[in-house]
Structure 1
Amino acid sequence: MSRYCSQCGKAHKVCICSVITPLHSGVELIILQHPTEEHRPMGTARILSLSLNNSQVLIGEDFRQDETLNTLLSEEGVVHYVLYPSDTSISATDVIAQHQPEQKVRVILLDGTWKKAFKMWQLNTQLHALPALHLPTDLKGNYRIRKAPSDNALSTVEAGYHLLSMLDTSTDFSPLLSVFDHMIEEQIRHMPPGVFERNYRQ
């Protein structure tokens, strides 16, 4: 019998499936996940894909020839964005006024460390044709069991939560953060004594 849950991919003792809340968003998320993130025990992209009925995760680094992604990007009648703080990116808070309510909106997220996300951005030049979005710089991340380069570095689920909350104000996406907090607390609870205090607590 596998030690890992077949749905969330986490060890059974820290499985998050029981606290997942099904959510519907008017905004579709496509998460491009770097292969090194796929089996990380503290990865958060799976929270988005399990919670949101119109999100999906694609695994890889170079998607230039990826049939699934390129078919999605060529779909007519869909407004596409990519969440990436480029030199020409616009604030996600300004996007609402740029499309009609009946238009389908799809956002591409890059799931990886900052260095790997940057490489994915460089490789996947088809994304450069999409309007790039950035989140407010004053947002604070709460990924206290994974060292971050700065206080405003967000996990993938936190970025997804803030993005969806800005683009789709008709839905309460706070259950995403509830699952995230539950995952963190369970990971801390199963750490050997003193590990969290020595390595993560500031």
Structure 2
Amino acid sequence: MGTARILKLSLANSFCFVGEDFSSNDQLNQLLNDGQYQHFILYPGEGALTHNEVAEQVANQQKVRVILLDGTWKKAYKMWQLSTNLHPLPLVRLPDDLQGNYRIRKAPSDNSLSTVEAGYHILSLLEPEKDFTPLIDAFNQMIEFQIKQMPPGVFEKNYLS
């Protein structure tokens, strides 16, 4: 529901591509070929690295670019399967104990995060000296706004049970 848009609007060096298969996306492939960056996919697949392992791998030698797949888990999986240009990149995962706050969406588990929450956490973990709370603040304001637009009782009936 557009939480990747919060990242795009909030972060000067972010890009947002629309689609399912990014294998032939010229702009993405140009970014992936930029040797100044070590690229990672934020995806909890087999062999995914922790943020600490990522930090050790790059050790101030390269800039880090993290790619997030925005969509439901099913949709993100499909994007991952189709976008073969991303397959050679190392995966990075978030800590298992993070809790999502996307209260207006049903999630498969308590630690399922929206794209903006995932972006906030990975940025905060990789760059702890920077303050990324405006991302979460904008996300929470969006949630509160959407809840206020619902007819009385709808949120409680559908999302608190």
TM-score, L = length of structure 1: 0.77
Q: Report what 2:39 is aligned to.
A: 80
TM-superposed deviation, 1:101 = 2.1
1:131 equivalent to 2:90? Answer yes
Q: Report what 1:6 is aligned to.
A: none
Cα offsets for 1:4-25 (capped at 9, x unmatched):
xxxxxxxxxxxxxxxxxxxxxx
Task: Find the aligned partners of 1:77 and 1:52 in 2 and give their Cα distance.
Answer: 19
1:142 equivalent to 2:142? Answer no
Paired residue secondary structure (1:111): coil
The aligned length equals 161
Task: Find the aligned partners of 2:40 and 2:74 in 1 and give their Cα distance.
Answer: 21
Q: Report what 2:114 is aligned to.
A: 155
Q: Report what 2:124 is aligned to.
A: 165
Task: Find the aligned partners of 1:59 and 1:93 in 2 and give their Cα distance.
Answer: 30
Q: Which amino acid aligns with 1:93?
A: N
After TM superposition, the structure 1 = structure 2 runs for residues 53-132 of structure 1, keeping only pairs within 5 Å, are: 53-101=12-60, 103-132=62-91
Match of 2:144 among 185, 190, 194: 185
Paired residue secondary structure (2:41): strand
Q: Give structure 2 stretches of 5+ with no counterpart.
A: none
Higher helix residue share: 2
Does the 8 Å CA contact 2:23/2:86 hold for their aligned counterparts?
A: no
Task: Find the aligned partners of 2:113 and 2:99 in 1 and give their Cα distance.
Answer: 7
Does the 8 Å CA contact 2:37/2:62 hold for their aligned counterparts?
A: yes
TM-score, L = length of structure 2: 0.96
Paired residue secondary structure (1:57): coil
User: What fraction of aligned residue pairs are identical, expressed as a percent?
Assistant: 60
TM-superposed deviation, 1:148 = 0.5
TM-superposed deviation, 1:130 = 0.6
Cα offsets for 1:37-58 (capped at 9, x unmatched):
xxx4xx2111111111111101
Task: Find the aligned partners of 1:101 and 1:76 in 2 and give their Cα distance.
Answer: 14
Does the 8 Å CA contact 2:124/2:131 hold for their aligned counterparts?
A: yes
Task: Find the aligned partners of 1:187 and 1:73 in 2 and give their Cα distance.
Answer: 36
Task: Find the aligned partners of 2:110 and 2:35 in 1 and give their Cα distance.
Answer: 39
Higher strand residue share: 1
1:174 equivalent to 2:133? Answer yes
Q: Which amino acid aligns with 1:58?
A: F
Does the 8 Å CA contact 2:3/2:115 hold for their aligned counterparts?
A: yes
Task: Find the aligned partners of 2:47 and 2:158 in 1 and give their Cα distance.
Answer: 37
Q: Which amino acid aligns with 1:139?
A: L
> Cα RMSD over matched residues?
1.1
Cα offsets for 1:47-90 (capped at 9, x unmatched):
11111111110111111111011111111221111111111111
